Chain A
Amino acid sequence: MTAVVGTRMLRKEDPELLTGEARFVDDLVIPGALHLAIVRSPHAHATIKSVDLTAALAQPGVVAAFSGADLRSEWAGPMPCAWPVTEDMLNPEHFPIAVQTACYVGDAVAVVVAETDMAARDAAELVDIDFDVLPAVVDLEDALSDRVLVHEALGTNRSYTWELIPAPEAVEEAFANATHTVVERFVQQRLIPSAMETRGVVAVPAVYGGEFTLYTATQIPHILRVLAALTVGVSESKLRVVAPSVGGGFGSKLDVYAEELLCLALARRLRRPVRWSEDRMENTQATIQGRGMIQHMELAADADGRVTAVRVRLLADMGAYLQLVTPGIPLLGAFLYGGVYDIPAYSFVCTGVFTTKTPTDAYRGAGRPEATYALERAMDALARQVGVDPAEIRRRNYVRADQFPYSSSGGLIFDSGNYEPALTRAMEMAGYDDVRAEQKERRSAGGTKHLGIGLSSYVEMCGLAPSRVLSALRYVAGGWESSTVRFLPTGKVQVVTGTTPHGQGHETSWSMIVADQLGVNPDDVEVLHSDTSIAPHGMDTYGSRSLSVGGTALWLATEKVIEKAKLIAAHQLEVAADDLDYAGGTFTVKGSPDRTMAIGAVAFEAFTAHNLPDGLEPNLEASSHWDPPNFTFPFGTHICVVEVDEETGKVDVLKYVAVDDCGTQINPLIIEGQVHGGIVQGAAQALFEEAIYDDDGNLITSSLADYLVPSAADFPSMQTDTTVTPSPTNPMGVKGVGEAGTIAAAPAVMNAIIDALSPFGITDIDMPATPQRIWTAIQQAGGTNGGPR
């Protein structure tokens, strides 16, 4: 059998998605289900004085309606936060539905349950709530002043301060001795993840058996099962969580959400299935948002531009409450503010701050895009100071290939890397020298359309996560993954995985791994996932972990299957196990190429159990639980070429080149797709997207008409390539690729824009770089009409 790993195998998932046969939560037909509508606070901050449900209850079709106080007794505990990042972190207790105070626009304050969705929504409009409006606090620095407290009882808006300063004196010394220092303040605007499928939930009770099935559009059925059981107070063994087809997540479905707990609690209370379907406005307000930071970034460098220290201070916007991993998001970037560079001294401090806005949490890249952005913007600033090309400043500072495994000053061990070839290749593909030459020509010609070239080199830490490291970071669970592989009697293979794909194509990639290991056709491999009854052990999908952790668990399980099969084959062929070779699904007696046994035949023998070695159990099946010894460290360089029209401020992306290294590749087709999608999401942060709040805490961008998710017309086709530096962290050498594009793209695009505007003396533009912002910056710099002055 020829190897399939490394080929561009088409996805097994596609036919059912292409034909409408796939079932998303909203597509599930659940007889007798009631519909939940949620009344949400129209105020960013308000005390709930009274909730009058009378009019809503009188509506036809309405079955029940409740306030937060009515439902308080349903909760065995408050909403969970799994990452108390410091011992003294402040975490305001909150419940799936506000009891006394609403703390952001969209906070749930009452619920209506009716026979139809329309009846529930109509009645929800009639719930009469008397609010006492409190002042909002929207701006991060304002929040830190404690002028307005989000949670009176805490006495402060500061949730925590977390530090990573391994050698403080070294940092001080580096800055004292620096020839060049870069001091920058960057704003990471809030983003709305905007998966195309909004969230949906159905809770189905088995009234006599006492079980519940929770169908939900989630990335984390396993984590959710544990925490929903604890929060709602049902037995974990009576709760089955199923994620059917899920229409994208990007971190926004990596949470334990109020609506999941509400459906579950109401199904228990009303003894009927309860379903909820999020509309897009709710998705912008009640689903977590991403980013939301102010970054103070400093570099110290010697005369040649070699960076000697990095010092970072962050303010991170938690929003109104701590969701599942809200406080930990900045920590996922905390180790990477030195990026791909060999920087000896490191200082990172982050303060988490409450505001009266939607909670933040993981959004594609989670902490790492923020780190890469600040560093790559600062590296360009350094290049300008030193007077060298951005490519040269990067070359001078890269960790060299012979330094791996590399101990970073931030305290991580980078498993493998080779940074310069990715840069060189990207420059080749971009025609870097030609574009620079054209830029020079245009500048001397003095036109109004300015060329800019932006680079960004990145390294990410993926494969979340070594459990011991998680423990050191005070995360409450482990980071392993699990898989079971079993042969069925006819030689087909069933795989059970604890990962939860929602667009990543695990069924395809996992089948490819098994096909090569067990010598079967990938079409004969069935991959089961995303249902806690079928796959009881799992840590789900996020942080580019699925392949490097889940794929490794799978690989190890196939090894165990082969090991057992070998014992049976040896018995059947009447030789010692050591006398067998194994390749491509066939055992061969060493030195006798005609004496063979296919693993499928072994599987049948294992099934009939007629003639097994003494003491060996029937069937070919094995499980593995893999806890990675380290993270993996994918890397690469992206280059963006833009044209900025000084008369309109409009940016046209002319060219986008990406060279990524995610280690060994299972399916290049899927890898490219992940990179493309990531790049456009990252570029969208640079160019279009921002969750805008007014001073009263109202979200202005609460629809897809106001929040500018890019369309096909907004970005060009991309040129991608890869280098391959296998990871020594796992046996396949894989690293992960789900977040790479998002991490690299925003700084590449912004560096290009600033490069284009440099003749005006402009060195900073906030994201998103809208035409308005750029035009204003040019005006303030005294530009336009006839080009730079």
Chain B
Amino acid sequence: MKVAMTINGTSQEHEIEARVLLVQFIRDVAGLTGTNVGCDTTSCGTCTVLLDGESVKSCTVLAVQADGAEIMTIEGLADPGTLHPMQEAFRENHALQCGFCTPGMVLAAVSLLKENAHPSEQEVRSALEGNLCRCTGYHNIVKAILAAADAAGAEVPA
């Protein structure tokens, strides 16, 4: 069947099998490999993307369900050669080691701050519950997200 969606501003229209998952569509059909797959039980969040602005685990969505949607993957978060403030914050705070969880983690964090511009540490931790990282112990990830929230706050004085 035919599926059409926009990924990072580019329209992607392809003929696929009905059982193809959104993450497979992104990786194998659109060829964007920044979105990773870490499990088969929707537990790890490494596949997190933004679907019409909201973070979803792209392994839980069929590509056909995303027909007509706007998808943003890690490749689309910042202009080529630049980093989004959240990516900057991750780098500044050493919030990644192997980097496998990182694309999903960054997008989950971006989506969190959209909903809650100034989360507490506890709110950050709860919001990240669906995104696993085996390397960092989360300490620096939480720190990075709080720092990004602070920095964004500084730009828009209340």
A673: which B residues are within 8 A, CB to CB? 94, 97, 135-136, 140
Identify whether the interface residues of A are mostly helix, strand, loop, or mixed.
loop
Q: Is the CB of B92 within 8 A of A10?
A: yes
Q: A248 contacts which of B40, B73, B97 (Cβ < 8 Å)?
A: B97
Q: Is the CB of B39 within 8 A of A280?
A: yes
Q: A23 contacts which of B33, B139, B143 (Cβ < 8 Å)?
A: B33
Count of A-B residue pairs with CB < 8 Å: 175
Q: A18-B87, A19-B87, A502-B98 are in contact. Are A680 and B41 (CB under 8 A)?
A: no
Q: A10-B94, A15-B91 are in contact. Are A680 and B138 (CB under 8 A)?
A: yes
A679: which B residues are within 8 A, CB to CB? 137
B97: which A residues are within 8 A, CB to CB? 248, 503-505, 673-674, 677
Q: A703 contacts which of B34, B39, B101 (Cβ < 8 Å)?
A: B39
13 inter-chain pairs at a CB distance below 8 angstroms, sorted by A residue, are A14-B91, A20-B75, A24-B33, A24-B36, A280-B38, A676-B136, A676-B137, A677-B134, A678-B137, A711-B131, A711-B138, A712-B142, A715-B137
Decide if B124 is an interface residue (CB 8 Å cutoff).
yes
Q: Is the CB of B96 within 8 A of A14?
A: yes
| B: interface residue count bin | 35 or more
Which residue of chain A lies nearest to B35 when distances are taken between CB atoms in the complex? A20
Q: Distance in Å from the Cβ of A502 to the closest Cβ of chain B?
A: 6
Instruction: A26-B33, A280-B41 given; name 8 further pairs at CB < 8 Å.
Output: A10-B91, A17-B99, A196-B36, A245-B99, A248-B97, A280-B44, A673-B94, A712-B126
Decide if A21 is an interface residue (CB 8 Å cutoff).
yes
Q: B103 contacts which of A20, A672, A709 (Cβ < 8 Å)?
A: A20
Q: A20-B74, A22-B99, A704-B44 are in contact. Are A672 and B94 (CB under 8 A)?
A: yes
Decide if A13 is an interface residue (CB 8 Å cutoff).
yes
Q: A709-B134, A711-B128, A712-B125 are in contact. Are A703 and B98 (CB under 8 A)?
A: no
Which residue of chain B lies nearest to A741 when distances are taken between CB atoms in the complex? B137
Q: Is the CB of A19 within 8 A of B43?
A: no
Decide if A445 is an interface residue (CB 8 Å cutoff).
no
Q: A18-B83, A196-B132, A713-B128 are in contact. Are A503 and B98 (CB under 8 A)?
A: yes
Decide if A717 is an interface residue (CB 8 Å cutoff).
yes
Q: Looking at B31, B35, B87, which has the most chain A CB atoms within 10 Å of its CB?
A: B87
Q: Looking at A14, A118, A245, A504, which has the most chain B CB atoms within 10 Å of its CB?
A: A14
Number of interface residues of A (CB under 8 A): 56
A705: which B residues are within 8 A, CB to CB? 41-43
Decide if A389 is an interface residue (CB 8 Å cutoff).
no
Decide if A669 is an interface residue (CB 8 Å cutoff).
yes
B35: which A residues are within 8 A, CB to CB? 20
Which residue of chain A lies nearest to B19 when distances are taken between CB atoms in the complex? A118
Decide if B102 is an interface residue (CB 8 Å cutoff).
yes
Decide if B18 is an interface residue (CB 8 Å cutoff).
no
Q: A18-B87, A712-B129 are in contact. Are A13 and B99 (CB under 8 A)?
A: yes
Q: Is the CB of A26 within 8 A of B37?
A: yes
Q: B121 contacts which of A11, A118, A717 (Cβ < 8 Å)?
A: A717
Q: Is the CB of A196 within 8 A of B133?
A: yes
Question: Roughly how many angstroms separate A704 CA and B59 CA in the complex, as a whole number?
Answer: 14
Decide if A198 is an interface residue (CB 8 Å cutoff).
yes
A246: which B residues are within 8 A, CB to CB? 98
A741: which B residues are within 8 A, CB to CB? 137
Q: Is the CB of B43 within 8 A of A703?
A: yes
Q: Is the CB of B94 within 8 A of A11?
A: yes
Decide if A194 is an interface residue (CB 8 Å cutoff).
yes
Q: Distance in Å from the Cβ of B128 to the closest Cβ of chain A?
A: 4
Q: Is the CB of B103 within 8 A of A280?
A: no
Which residue of chain B lies nearest to A277 when distances are taken between CB atoms in the complex? B37
Q: A13-B99, A26-B33, A503-B97 are in contact. Are A248 and B137 (CB under 8 A)?
A: no
B74: which A residues are within 8 A, CB to CB? 18-20
Which residue of chain A lies nearest to B106 when distances are taken between CB atoms in the complex? A18
Q: A196-B44, A196-B98, A196-B132 are in contact. Are A677 and B137 (CB under 8 A)?
A: yes
- A643-657 with Cβ < 8 A to chain B: none
Q: A196-B100, A704-B43, A717-B121 are in contact. Are A20 and B33 (CB under 8 A)?
A: yes
Q: Is the CB of B99 within 8 A of A280?
A: no
Which residue of chain B lies nearest to A705 when distances are taken between CB atoms in the complex? B41
Question: Roughly how many angstroms separate A651 CA and B33 CA in the complex, as a whole number?
Answer: 39
Q: A10-B92, A704-B43, A713-B128 are in contact. Are A197 and B38 (CB under 8 A)?
A: yes
Question: Roughly how many angstroms separate A490 CA and B71 CA in the complex, as a whole number?
Answer: 44
B92: which A residues are within 8 A, CB to CB? 10
B94: which A residues are within 8 A, CB to CB? 10-11, 669-670, 672-673
Decide if B78 is an interface residue (CB 8 Å cutoff).
yes
Question: Roughly how many angstroms separate A600 CA and B154 CA in the complex, as a whole number?
Answer: 43
B102-120 interface bits toward A, Cβ cutoff 8 Å, 1 = contact, 0 = none: 1100100000000000000
Question: Roughly how many angstroms separate A311 CA and B106 CA in the complex, as a whole number?
Answer: 49
Which residue of chain A lies nearest to B87 when distances are taken between CB atoms in the complex? A18
Q: Is the CB of A196 within 8 A of B137?
A: no
Q: A14-B91, A711-B128, A715-B138 are in contact. Are A19 and B34 (CB under 8 A)?
A: yes
Q: Is the CB of A250 within 8 A of B40?
A: no
Q: Is the CB of B40 within 8 A of A712?
A: no
Q: Is the CB of B83 within 8 A of A703?
A: no
A711: which B residues are within 8 A, CB to CB? 128-132, 138
A22: which B residues are within 8 A, CB to CB? 99
Which residue of chain A lies nearest to B74 when distances are taken between CB atoms in the complex? A20
Q: Is the CB of B100 within 8 A of A21?
A: no
Q: Distance in Å from the Cβ of B121 to the closest Cβ of chain A?
A: 7
Q: Distance in Å from the Cβ of B117 to the closest Cβ of chain A?
A: 19
Q: Is the CB of A676 within 8 A of B140?
A: yes
Q: Is the CB of B44 within 8 A of A27?
A: no
Decide if A681 is an interface residue (CB 8 Å cutoff).
yes
Q: Distance in Å from the Cβ of A688 to the closest Cβ of chain B?
A: 12
Q: Is the CB of B137 within 8 A of A718?
A: yes
Q: Looking at B40, B99, B142, which has the most chain A CB atoms within 10 Å of its CB?
A: B99
Q: Is the CB of B41 within 8 A of A703?
A: yes
Decide if B63 is an interface residue (CB 8 Å cutoff).
no
Which residue of chain B lies nearest to A249 when distances are taken between CB atoms in the complex? B98
Which residue of chain A lies nearest to B93 when distances are taken between CB atoms in the complex? A669
Question: Roughly how many angstroms separate A53 CA and B142 CA in the complex, as a whole number?
Answer: 51
Q: Is the CB of B99 within 8 A of A27?
A: no
Q: Is the CB of B141 within 8 A of A712?
A: yes
Question: Roughly how many angstroms separate A680 CA and B73 CA in the complex, as a whole number?
Answer: 29
- A686-734 with Cβ < 8 A to chain B: 703-705, 709, 711-713, 715, 717-718
Decide if B90 is an interface residue (CB 8 Å cutoff).
yes
A13: which B residues are within 8 A, CB to CB? 99
B33: which A residues are within 8 A, CB to CB? 20, 23-24, 26-27
Question: Roughly how many angstroms separate A246 CA and B126 CA in the complex, as a whole number?
Answer: 28
Q: B99 contacts which of A18, A676, A704, A712 (Cβ < 8 Å)?
A: A18
B140: which A residues are within 8 A, CB to CB? 672-673, 676
B43: which A residues are within 8 A, CB to CB? 703-705
Question: Roughly how many angstroms separate A211 CA and B141 CA in the complex, as a whole number?
Answer: 43
